[in-house]
Structure 1
Amino acid sequence: MLSAKSLFQEILDNDESFRLFCSIAASGESQGGWENARIAALVPQTERELAPKIARHGADEDKHGRIFNALLKKRGLRPVPVPPDTDYTMLLERHGIGLAHEKLTADKPLTVQDIVTYLAHSRVTEQRASEQMDLLRRHFADHPDIGRAVRVISQDEDNHLAYCHEELLRFARAGHGRAIQRTLRECALAEIRIYRDVSLAVMAHMGRILRWPRSRSLVLTAGIHAVYAWERLAGWRRMVSLRMPERRNALGGPATTAAEFA
């Protein structure tokens, strides 16, 4: 029976598919680490108290990249170049989600509106990350090779999502509510389309590596399109709601290390 668990188990069991999966994940996390570090350095003076949390977010993303690379090293594998059609982070930027790299590479401080935009975009993408890692945690939390990594990353993603909710609510109380809701909606509708395209690309690459029969590829493709149809109709709304999280000040402390995975 085809299920999320059996599908990922098949990818996990094959060196080449596992190599591609970890390479894609490590690249995206490392890019997110760089972006957050730059945003933390450019936070406007009026929001400097937020800088350590943004820096913590970036440190976590860097850690996740190191974890995925350590999983490869543990199996004697080296990273492979990430196919452009599977580069979720790059495609998000190309479609205007996240702050432009031209802005992040400059030395000019960001505006408060830039920070609001960053948090709104992060709230959408962290929703996706939290859900994906929760799925892996449900099925592979006790796996001898990847279980600890899955648990650590999943907890971090939950913290990132909680932080985005809390900070956006703070900005909403400060008068940015309409801008936040507009940005959240625009970002969510763009993200679900990009996620669909990336999912199709990843499955195509995995299918070639694992030599899936055409029937399996067609089933998976249909499933991805069905998820997109649901998200386009109503599912995107889960990405734009805001509520005070149970985890308050989730990024208020120092980042944990990834030394145990190296």
Structure 2
Amino acid sequence: MLSARSIFQEIIENDDAFRLFCSIAAAGESQGGWENGRIAALVPGSMSDLAPKIARHGADEDKHGRIFNALLKKRGLEPVDVPPECDYTMLLEQRGIGLSHEKLRGSAPLTERDVVVYLAHSRVTEQRAAEQMNTLVRYVGEQAGIGRAVRMICHDEDNHLAYCHEELLRLAAQGHARTIHAVLRESALAEIRVYREVGLAVLGHMGRLLHWPKAKTSLLAAGANGLHGYERLGGWHRMVSLSMPERRNALGGPAPAAAEYA
């Protein structure tokens, strides 16, 4: 029977597919860690109160990258290079989502608008990340070996999304509402296109590694295209709404002391 649970199980049980899955996830998380770390270092003085939270966000993403690499190590597997067509973060940057790496590699402080744009972009991408991790928890969260890892990451991603909501609402009240809403809409519409492209590319690679029949790959691709159709027609609105989260100050203070997953 074709189901999300059975697809995840196929990927987890096959070394080559699992290696690609974890490599893609680890690379994306590590990239996010670097980006947040640089943004924290370049925050303008007028927004210095945000720097510790942005740094905490980056530290969480770095941790997630290490977790996915640890999952590979436990299986005796080495990471593989991420195919360019599967590189979600790179493709987002190419479409102008996120602050440019050229700017982040520099030493000039960011502007207040840069930080507002960063948070609006993050609100969109963290929505996707939180949804993906909650899906993983639903289907593999109780499995030995991977369950604890995905539950830990899911908790962090929910915190990241809460932080974006709260900080954007605060900045909107300070006069940045027009910029926030414009950037949210632009980011969401670009993200759903990239997500479909990456999803179809990953399905193609997984299909070859797992020797799926053409009909199975086509059916899964139709599902990815159907999701994109839903999101394009209005599903993207969930990625741009703002509401005060139940988790307040989710990234305030240092990261809690916890044993690194291994």
TM-score scaled by length of structure 1: 0.99
Q: Which residue of 2 aligns with 1:221?
A: 221
Residue by residue, what CA displacement relative to the aligned partner does 1:129-183 show, whole Å, maximum 9, x if unpaired?
0000001111222111101101100000000000000000001000111110000
Which residue identity does 1:178 align to in structure 2?
R
Deviations 1:81-126 (A, max 9, x none): 1000000000000100000011101100000000000000000000
Q: Residue 109 of structure 1 aligns with which residue? A: 109
2:8 and 2:139 in contact (8 A); partners too: no
CA displacement 1:6-56 (0-9 Å, x = unmatched): 111100000000000000000000000000000000000000010000000
State yes or no: 1:26 paired with 2:18.
Answer: no
1:75 deviates by: 0.4
Is structure 2 residue 180 aligned with structure 1 residue 189? no
Q: Check whether the contact 1:63–1:257 (CA below 8 A) recurs between aligned residues.
A: no
- Work out the percentage of aligned pairs sharing the same amino acid: 70
SS in 2 for 1:261: coil
C-alpha separation between the residues in 1 aligned to 2:99 and 2:257? 27
- Aligned counterpart, 1:94: 94
1:15 is aligned to: 15
Q: Is the 8 A contact 1:42 1:108 kept in 2?
A: yes
Distance 1:32 1:97 in 2: 13
Amino acid paired to 1:93: E
Q: How large is the Cα RMSD of the aligned pairs?
A: 0.9
1:150 maps to 2:122: no
Q: Which amino acid counterpart does residue 81 of structure 2 have in structure 1?
A: P
Q: CA deviation at 1:259?
A: 4.1
* Partner SS for 2:246: coil
Distance across 1 between alignment mates of 2:260 and 2:113:
39
| C-alpha deviation, 1:256, in angstroms | 4.1
* 2-structure distance, mates of 1:59, 1:130: 17
Unaligned runs of 5+ in 1: none
Aligned partner letter, 1:105: R
Aligned to 1:169: 169
TM-score, length basis structure 2? 0.99
Partner of 1:246: 246
- SS of the aligned residue for 1:255 comes to coil
Name the amino acid aligned to 1:154: C
